[in-house]
Amino acid sequence: MKQIANTIRGLSMDAVQKADSGHPGLPMGCAELGAYLYGYYLKQNPKNSKWLNRDRFILSAGHGSMWLYSCLHLAGYKITLEDIKNFRQLHSPTPGHPESFMTDGVETTTGPLGQGVGNAVGQALGFKILGEKFNTEKHPIFNNKVYVLMGDGCVMEGISSEVSSLAGHLKLNNLVAIYDANHVSLDGPLAESSSEDTKTRYKAYGWDVFEIDGNDIEAIDTVFSQIRHYQEKPCLVIAHTIIGKGAPNKGGTYKAHGSPLGVEEIKAAKDELGIPQEDFYVPQAVINYFQNKLVSDAKEQNEWKQIFEEWAKENPSKFQELEVMLHHKLPDDFEQKLQHLMIKAPISGRKASQEVLNSLADMIPQLYGGSADLSSSDMTMLKKFSLIAPNEFHGRNIKFGVREFGMATIATGLYQTGMILPFVGTFLTFSDYMRNAIRLAALQHAQVFYQFTHDSIFLGEDGPTHQPVEHYAALRAIPQLQVIRPADSYEVKMSWIAALQYKGPTALILSRQNLPDLAGTNIPYVEGMGRGAYIVKKEKGKADFTLVATGSELSLAMNVANELEKLGKNVRVISMPCWALFEKQPIDYKESLFGGDIGKRVSIEAGVDLGWHKYIGRDGIAICMEHFGASAPAGVLAKEFGFTVEAILERIL
């Protein structure tokens, strides 16, 4: 174990130095933890890295990525020594921070501190759900654990408080957080910015807490052996380590944190640690050790496979449902069923979505989710199913509490079990709390559904603190996030089809106020929502005006068009619920909507105009919000901010 630990140190020092960039401090300080976890403790099979019942390990302190890459390389994952040498280089599977879609053995993308803790809570919760659903007394096919390594930055970030609080409440006894307590942050000693009692804090959350010397293998083994067999609550292991351990001049200081040690310091460190001066040196004894371990890893998976096959044979209906969830299978006729789902209009977007969500829950067993203490308002409750509660994981509704950021990170973790499609809900304006988690979900194509309600100034009296105006643009700016703002109940149904077909996250932007169903939206998915934008009202001759709208403003656009026609004008009306889907369409389709002389172009959306001029041109008119809103009834606000037929006619004529 000592030799493995020093190999981790050597590889990490050399890789950071060669890249002239990176963080050597954590890899060197946590080397014994890495040697123990990957060299002995974790239940994993590197040659089958997606084994369903493997233990999950997350490096929340993602800046210490060379620690993880060194461990994965030695353990036998698909990271070569050449990959280690190409640390932080273009297209290398060893990027600056761990990326799940790039690197074998990386369970989630981390870097923004604390979010890995949230992902770990989500994965742990997901496996409690799956264990409750599928395990039998004779065949416990889900009995894995989730481990996460966090640093001082993760502990200080508020996200760790949100998710740790919920984990303690739910008594997740398959979750272990390791706190690399090296008392050093990037800017200097931790004492300059923090003096909290982390041990007492986590006990208050309902966790069991252990303290160890994180550089003592025997101390590590004593605690982790106990946790493996006797865990009743989530556990925090406070591992006191020395940042940059082995570096004689920079070890134990912030100088080892975020920059290469330097050639002379590395040479001195290798002498002190007894590591040969050869760059990227891996002892043959370490190679032999891990080759032998691969044999036992495969044996452990095969033993589980035998249990799984016996379970599948004795529980055919459970096995069939597991297959559906594992492969995210959708019923062949689910689109047809949604099209024929009767939803009585006028109805708000949020209530229409709840009816769709409850219909989908009957068809799709992998659909789980909840809200940040707003399920009665954002309409995310699955009415036929119970709540998940401490030690009770058979329900499908999760009460996340007022923890929006935490909720979003947990949702990503739920998806990362490989068997759950999570949805989460809150008001659109609170998507700001969740933004960085949404961004990371988009980065790694996590299929999470965000139900954002109260989508405009028309929520009314709650006023500008709750009225989103910049949020459509802000969410649309996130690459790989599918943002949809449906206009009526039919578009809501089609929005869910788009969300379920997209292999990435989707934000559904839904109204609080009732909306009428509109002529022109009730068309097949591939002709309407599937295009992202489509014509709902065709001009009778050469168009004098083309009106483009989303969400609740589409009905307003239709009313404006009717009045223009009374004045002898020819009008085209385009519904554009999803810019991202529209941008994927062929050029000829885009031209059929926006090409040529289609008259004066007008966008109508109760948000800022950012992005609209790409479609309406520099000379187009954007009926938009240029203020934060105000506290008043919705009808009063429509007149105040120009979202009435009369105001729009005056503006565009």
Cβ neighbours, 10 Å, residue 163: 31
Establish if 136 belongs to a structural domain: yes
* Whether residues 511 and 542 fall in one domain: no
**What is each CA distance from 299 to 48, 71, 228, in whole angstroms?**
12, 21, 19
Cβ neighbours of residue 262 under 8 Å, at least 6 residues apart?
17
Residue 158's beta-bridge partner residues? Answer: none
Distance (Å, rounded) from C-alpha 86 to C-alpha 96? 11
- Are 515 and 546 contained in the same domain? no
CATH number at residue 511: 3.40.50.970
Q: Which of 482, 500, 521 is the last residue of a domain?
A: 521
Pairing relationship of beta strands 571-575 and 534-537 according to DSSP bridges: antiparallel
Q: What parts of the chain have a pLDDT lower than 70? A: none
* pLDDT at residue 258, rounded to an integer: 87
Q: Is 404 a catalytic residue?
A: yes
Contact 269, 250 (CB under 8 A): no
Interval 202-224: pLDDT, tens: 999 999 999 999 999 999 999 99
* Single pTM value for the model: 0.97
The answer on 358 and 492 residing in a single domain is yes
Please enumerate, by residue number, every residue annotated as part of a binding site for Mg(2+).
152, 182, 184
| pLDDT (0 to 100) of residue 573 | 98
In a shared domain, residues 501 and 565: no
DSSP 483-523: EE--SSHHHHHHHHHHHHHSSS-EEEE--SSEE---TTT-S
> Cα(409)–Cα(412) distance, rounded to whole angstroms?
5
Is there a domain that residue 527 lies in?
Answer: no
Q: Say if residue 287 is in the same domain as residue 337.
A: no
The CATH number of residue 631's host domain is 3.40.50.920
Co-location of 114 and 138 in the same domain:
yes
Which of these three, 463, 497, 521, is where a domain ends? 521
Backbone dihedral angles phi then psi of residue 538, each to the nearest 5 degrees: -90, 140
Neighbours of 584 (CB within 10 A): 11
Say yes or no: 118 and 258 in one domain. Answer: yes
First to last CA, the chain: 79
Please tell me the number of Cα atoms within 13 Å of 432 on its side-chain side: 10
| Distance from C-alpha of 578 to C-alpha of 649, rounded to nearest angstrom | 26
346 and 198 in one domain?
no
3-state secondary structure 216-246: CHHHHHHHHHHHHHHCCCCEEEEEECCCCCC
Cβ atoms of 421 and 364 closer than 8 Å: yes
Tokens coding 189: 């000693």
Catalytic hit among 404, 539, 553, 605: 404
Is residue 456 packed enough to be buried (19+ CB in 10 Å), middle (13-18) or exposed (0-12)?
buried
Decide if 180 is inside a domain.
yes
Position 411 in a domain: yes
Q: What is the DSSP string of 568-632?
A: T--EEEEE-S-HHHHHTS-HHHHHHHH-S---EEEEE-SS--TTTHHHH-TT-EEE---S---SS
Residue 308 lies in a domain: no
**In which element (H, E) is residue 564 found?**
helix 553-566
CA angle 511, 367, 207 (to 5 degrees): 100
Give the pLDDT score at 324: 97
My answer on whether 292 and 353 are in the same domain is no
Q: What dihedral angle (degrees, nearest 10) is formed by the CA atoms of 158, 161, 163, 165? A: -160
- The reply to whether 499 and 536 lie within a common domain is no
Which residues make beta-bridge pairs with 602? Answer: 547, 621
418 in the Ramachandran plot: left (φ > 0), alpha (ψ -120 to 50) or beta? left
Q: Take residue 408 and report the two structure tokens written for it.
A: 């979003």
The predicted structure's pLDDT at residue 407: 98
Q: Look at residues 490, 521, 552 and tell me which one is the last residue of a structural domain.
A: 521
DSSP string, 378-430: II---TTS-B-BTTB---SEEE--S-HHHHHHHHHHHHTTSS-EEEEEEEGGG
Q: What is the pLDDT of residue 339?
A: 86
Indicate whether 200 and 276 sit together in one domain: yes
pLDDT of residue 621: 98
Same domain, 227 and 369: no
Measured in degrees and rounded to the nearest 5, phi and psi for residue 106 equal -90, 120
Give the domain range for residue 196. Answer: 1-297
Eight-class DSSP state of 197: -
d(CA 144, CA 50) in angstroms, rounded, equals 13
| Domain-located, residue 305 | no
Specify if 462 maps to a domain.
yes
Whether 24 is covered by a domain: the verdict is yes
- Total domains in the chain come to 3
In the block, which residue shows the tokens 């948000």?
607
**Residues annotated in a binding site for thiamine diphosphate:** 63, 111-113, 153, 182, 257, 430
User: d(Cα 213, Cα 234) in Å, to the nearest integer?
Assistant: 20
Residue with tokens 């055919």, as numbered in its chain:
316
Which one-letter DSSP state was computed for residue 160? H
Q: Identify residue 89 by its one-letter amino acid code.
A: Q
Closest Cα partner for 483 from 519, 547, 438? 438
- Give the annotated binding-site residues: 23, 63, 111-113, 152-153, 182, 184, 257, 350, 377, 430, 454, 462, 466, 512
